[in-house]
Amino acid sequence: MRAMENAQPPGEEIVVQIAEIEHLFIAPDANPMSRHEGEVMGEAGLLRVVRRLMAAREMTGVRELVVLLPVDKIEPGLRERARAALERYCTLKLEDNDAQLRVMRREAGGLLLRGLLILIFCVGVSSLFRSETVTFLPPLLNNALGEGFNVIGWVMLWRPVETYFFDPLPIRRSSVVHRFLKSLQIEIRPQPRQTAGQ
């Protein structure tokens, strides 16, 4: 069985072997005894293609998505239908990614406002404990509480920063990959015949 996923960057074509054309988009049941990659993994073929492209440093050399199907599953007009389905899928995925990014930016704004308010409060409390105003606690405890509130205040900013700067990165990369996939040509080829012992 051909293994599509490896550490090598994709060449001029990406090859995916599936049992049914629907398995390009819909995950089949996992079956390690199958000779088809998608059924072995229980994953849609396109998911593995996207993963491979996301792992690649560059995609500029890839020109074509080659789908290997059993000979009896290839019929006239299949390539055009598969190409149209890929374009529809990628268009909807890009729209969904854009919506996710908008939601994320809105959440990040709310989190940032709350984080700044908590930071101001915690820095104020920290300054109070470290000043000479609080005299009813031992100096060691004053210092510990002062440092503790200071740390809590800055930690509260981490989630907004992560939401705004880091969480969108995989979604943006997914959009780059799906925009690229949308531009690829599809070729349908018959799977190579099994030899004895395979």
Question: Is this model's pTM higher than 0.75 or not?
Answer: no
Span 92-120, mean pLDDT?
Answer: 90
Distance, CA of 79 to CA of 68 (rounded, Å):
11
Span 159-173, mean pLDDT?
Answer: 88
pLDDT, tens digit (0-9, with 9 covering 90-100), for 38-80: 788 788 989 888 888 888 777 777 788 999 998 988 899 999 9
Domain boundaries, the chain: 13-87+180-190, 101-176
Q: At 15, which helix (H) or strand (E)? A: strand 13-17
Q: What angle do CA 128, 133, 136 make, to 5 degrees?
A: 105
CA dist 165 to 99, 108, 112, Å? 16, 9, 12
Q: Which residues are registered as beta bridge partners of 69?
A: 190
> Can you give the C-alpha Rg of the chain in angstroms?
27
User: Percent of the chain having pLDDT more than 90?
Assistant: 28
pLDDT band at 1 (very low <50, low <70, confident <90, very high): very low
Contacts of 170 (CB under 8 A, 6+ apart): none
User: 22: buried, middle or exposed (CB in 10 Å: 19+, 13-18, 0-12)?
Assistant: middle
pLDDT, tens digit (0-9, with 9 covering 90-100), for 2-42: 434 433 445 688 888 888 899 999 988 888 888 777 788 78
Distance, CA of 164 to CA of 106 (rounded, Å):
9
pLDDT band at 144 (very low <50, low <70, confident <90, very high): confident
